Structure formats: C-alpha cells, structure tokens
Structure 1
Amino acid sequence: MNKPLQNSAQMPDYLKARKMHLNGIIVGMAGMKKLNRRETKDTKVETLTIDAIKAELDFIDLQLKRKSR
C-alpha cells in the first residue's frame, strides 16, 4: 500500500499523477480489446473494473476541485 503523503502541498501533484495512471489503465484496456477482435463483448469483471476506475477518477476530480478553491 502507498505511504500517505506528509506534505499537503504535494497532494494535487499526487492526485494528478494518480488520475493519469488510471486513465492509462482504461486506455490500455481499450487497446487490448482492439487487439483481440474475436472478443467483442465485455465481461462482467471488465465492466466492474472500468466502473470502479471511473468512480475513482470522479472522486479525484472532486478532491482536485476542493484543493483549487
């Protein structure tokens, strides 16, 4: 597990990096789908994973908005 940040000034940078990482995961999953053309239907695990990542991205956006005020 990641160690919590000590300096709150670094938090927006951490959140932005986490957001980029999660977006990369979604893009990577989409790229894998294009490579495997026989499999056109998303599995339940893929759907749940994408939904969880999108929820995390929404939460990060909320935190970034609060920090920018």
Structure 2
Amino acid sequence: MNKPPQNSAQMPDYLKARKLHLNGIIVVLAGMKKRNARENKDTKVETLTINAIKAELDFIDLQLKRKNG
C-alpha cells in the first residue's frame, strides 16, 4: 500500500480517494454476490473482508471529521 502524503493539506484528498476505492471494492463484492445468488451463502473470508473494509471506511470517516473540525 502507498504511504499517505506527508503534507497535512493533502491528507483529506488522500482519505477521500481511499474511501472511494474501498467503496468500489464493496460494490464489486456486492455484484459478485448477486451473480452467485444460487449459492446464497457467505464464506468466512467474504464476511471478514467486508467487515474489515467497513471498519476501514469508518476509520476514514473519523479522520475526515477530525480534519474538518
């Protein structure tokens, strides 16, 4: 993973880009899930991955709120 920019002025841009990227991953996973609707069961890896991405998104939101005051 790339390091975030050191300049604090660029940090919100980095966080917003990271948030968009993670949201894109969630959308792709949801699309794959729809295609595999016949099986209709989550694997442990899928569940852990989605939970980890959601936790990262929550952390990014917290950081953005701190930066915006």
Instruction: Considering fraction of residues, name the structure with more helix.
Output: 1
Greater than 3 Å deviation, 4+ residue runs: none
Q: Distance in 2 between matches of 1:16 and 1:61?
A: 9
The runs of 5 or more residues in structure 2 that have no matched partner are none
TM-score normalised by the chain length of structure 2: 0.92
For residue 33 of structure 1, report the CA deviation from its aligned partner: 1.0
Q: How many residues are treated as equivalent by the alignment?
A: 69
RMSD, aligned CA? 1.0
CA distance in 2, matches of 1:25, 1:5: 22
* Partner SS for 1:9: coil
Residues of 1 paired with 2:54 and 2:60: CA distance? Answer: 10
Partner of residue 66, structure 1:
66
Name 2:49's counterpart in structure 1: 49
The corresponding residue for 1:34 is 34
What SS does structure 1 have at the residue aligned with 2:64?
helix
Which consecutive unaligned segments of at least 5 residues does structure 1 have?
A: none
